[in-house]
């Protein structure tokens, strides 16, 4: 490791939003390459919370908010799931009064408070020259703001939903799809044994990529996605047809958590919202299951079809990364270091058209990344279209 006098600069790295497999490999890749190139690396703990709650006093123990990263630390964690730096959904641009750190309560008294000035001063206090945030569009929207404030930012996209604009791939997506396929294949044996409908609720607030890919891969007969409201009567009819045509007498539908009935809205577990204004989704799978059972006699000679209903949720979020979510984070981390070495900032590392590139970071807030329904989704049959794949990216469904 270079001596202090030869250090080229200090790199800060953080993970924000939901955990996904692949975060620790990304942290490992950044740290190993950075140390080899002559930089120090500081891990910010709990996402933007670490840079919001830190106290600028050398006598205060701030170990809850940051730690120096070493080769030993990242090598031990690099093959595991989750993030050893921990994470949060803290949004320093809109901190509610009750969430303002105690040592700042005299200074910030509004119902919502912009603590970006504190973040900037805390970066200076830690001596951080360059910042690598890893997150989805919410986490990275803060990075966009910091880049505009002059912070030297290079961002890495991650999210189960694969919906960060500007990139064909986000860390965590492949493992999510892999687990969804595996779990659907496991549960279908029970669905077949009892001749039931199988309803699996999967991630996807605004984008249906996590439902589309497993369905195309054969894990489900149908899928309903946030981009197109579905008719439950029509869905029941189609699933009933699928079931009767199946020798094992079952059929499977993947339901995105953000999917909506015709004439309906998103379904929430509660109305409590996170720092980015999102209420926690959940329950659409339960509603779909109940309605399928109620309507099933109409399409099954008067007999009710029972439903096996499972919310996959955190089962696809936890655990070790698959091969792609071990390789892509390594590449993203090294690409981020390339940009820092080249002194090219305000960028988002991306994977587009099968190649690693980078985009201006404000692409994150410039548009939404959603399934192109006209091109990729059969709105009458509630399943992916199996055409227009020529020259599509590896994971096929993208509106970019």
Q: How far apart are the first and last CA of the chain?
A: 42
Beta bridge partners of 351: 356
Angle, alpha carbons 236-213-234 (nearest 5°): 15
Beta bridge partners of 199: 253, 309
161 is catalytic: yes
Q: Are 382 and 224 in contact (CB under 8 A)?
A: yes
Residue 171 DSSP one-character state? B
Task: Please count the CA atoms within 13 angstroms of the CA of 94 that sit on its side-chain side.
Answer: 11
Q: Are 237 and 296 in contact (CB under 8 A)?
A: no
Q: Is 12 exposed, middle or buried (0-12, 13-18, 19+ CB in 10 A)?
A: buried
Residues written for the chain: 400
Residue partners of 354: CB distance under 8 A and separation at least 6: 393, 394
DSSP E strands in the chain: the ranges are 9-15, 39-44, 66-68, 95-96, 112-113, 130-135, 154-157, 197-202, 222-224, 251-256, 268-273, 279-281, 307-311, 347-352, 355-360, 377-378, 383-384
Which one of the listed residues 161, 168, 242, 362 is annotated catalytic? 161
Query: CA–CA separation, 181 vs 219, rounded Å?
Result: 5
φ and ψ at 237, to 5 degrees? -60, -45
Q: Is 320 exposed, middle or buried (0-12, 13-18, 19+ CB in 10 A)?
A: middle
Radius of gyration (Cα) for the chain, nearest Å? Answer: 23
State the catalytic residues: 161
């Amino acid at each position: 490791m270079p001596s202090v006098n030869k250090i080229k600069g200090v790199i800060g790295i953080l993970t924000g939003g939901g955990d996904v497999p692949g975060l620790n490999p990304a942290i490992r890749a950044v740290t190993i390459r950075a140390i080899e190139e002559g930089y120090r690396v500081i891990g910010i703990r709990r996402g933007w919370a670490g840079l919001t709650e830190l106290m600028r006093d050398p006598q205060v123990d701030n170990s809850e908010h940051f730690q120096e990263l070493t080769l030993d630390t990242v090598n031990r964690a690099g093959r595991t799931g989750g993030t050893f730096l921990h994470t949060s959904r803290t949004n320093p641009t809109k901190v509610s009064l009750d969430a303002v750190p105690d040592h700042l309560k005299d200074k910030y008294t509004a119902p919502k408070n912009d603590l970006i000035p504190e973040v900037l001063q805390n970066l200076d206090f830690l001596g951080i020259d360059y910042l690598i945030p890893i997150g989805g569009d919410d986490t990275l929207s803060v990075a966009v703001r910091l880049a505009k404030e002059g912070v030297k930012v290079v961002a890495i996209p991650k999210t189960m939903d694969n919906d960060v604009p500007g990139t064909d791939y986000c860390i965590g997506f492949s493992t999510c799809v892999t687990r969804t396929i595996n779990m659907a294949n496991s549960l279908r044996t029970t669905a077949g044994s009892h001749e039931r409908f199988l309803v699996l609720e999967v991630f996807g607030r605004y984008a249906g990529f996590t439902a589309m890919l497993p369905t195309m891969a054969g894990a489900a007969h149908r899928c309903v996605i946030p981009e197109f409201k579905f008719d439950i009567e029509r869905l029941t009819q189609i699933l009933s047809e699928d079931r009767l045509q199946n020798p094992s007498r079952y059929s499977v539908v993947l339901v995105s958590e953000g999917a909506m009935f015709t004439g309906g809205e998103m379904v929430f577990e509660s109305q409590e919202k996170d720092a980015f204004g999102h209420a926690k989704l959940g329950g659409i799978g339960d509603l779909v299951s109940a309605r399928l059972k109620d309507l099933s006699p109409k399409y099954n000679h008067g007999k009710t079809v029972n439903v096996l209903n499972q919310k996959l949720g955190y089962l696809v979020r936890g655990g070790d990364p698959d091969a792609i979510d071990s390789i892509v984070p390594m590449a993203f981390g090294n690409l981020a270091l390339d940009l820092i070495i080249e002194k090219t900032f305000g960028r988002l590392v991306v994977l587009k058209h099968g190649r690693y590139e980078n985009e201006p970071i404000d692409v994150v807030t410039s548009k939404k990344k959603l399934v192109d329904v006209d091109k990729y989704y059969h709105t009458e049959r509630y399943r992916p279209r199996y055409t227009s794949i020529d020259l599509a990216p590896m994971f096929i469904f993208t509106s970019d």
